[in-house]
Amino acid sequence: MYEGGGCECDKRCGYHPTCVPMQVGCRKRPWGKFAAEIRDSTRNGKRVWLGTFDTAEAAALAYDQASYAMRGSSSVVNFSVETVKDSLNGTPCCRNMDGESPALAIKAMHKLQKMSLSSNSGEENKQQKNLLIFEDLGSDLLDELLSS
């Protein structure tokens, strides 16, 4: 992790239960999720919202991916450069297509991943809704229903 990070309660002590090491490019939202954003040097320093994540590590990795895609190995990252490279392996987001900012490409990649995860869980819920469960009420009741 990034060595220069402090803790959330600003005591920088490392042992308070509320102390959470802060990562570069991410912050904790009041409702417990973690937000990631980066200043985009290709767009005159405009902030690019990378997304909201369940864990600080996921938000920090999103920041690292965008930072590495923009600045290469000279970027300040939370994880090792090798970890960031491995996480980007096989994704087309680092190639500068149509002059698009690498940070915007990373943002789009995370949005697509989040949408595909939520649509998969929606399909599972639909399948469960169409499931009928029959309860065995015994052969006597079945015989009675069939004889009437």
Gap between the Cα atoms of 148 and 146, Å rounded:
6
Evaluated on CA atoms 51, 52, 55, 60, the torsion sign reads positive
pLDDT(63) > 90: yes
Note if the pTM is more than 0.85: no
Q: What strands lie across the sheet with 26-28, from one edge to the other?
A: 26-28, 34-40, 46-53
Query: Could you report the per-residue pLDDT of 102-111, keeping only the tens digit for each?
Result: 888 888 888 8
User: Over 90: is that where the pLDDT of 115 sits?
Assistant: no
CATH architecture classification, 26-147: 2-Layer Sandwich (3.30)
For 77-95, the pLDDT digits (tens) are: 999 999 988 888 866 655 5
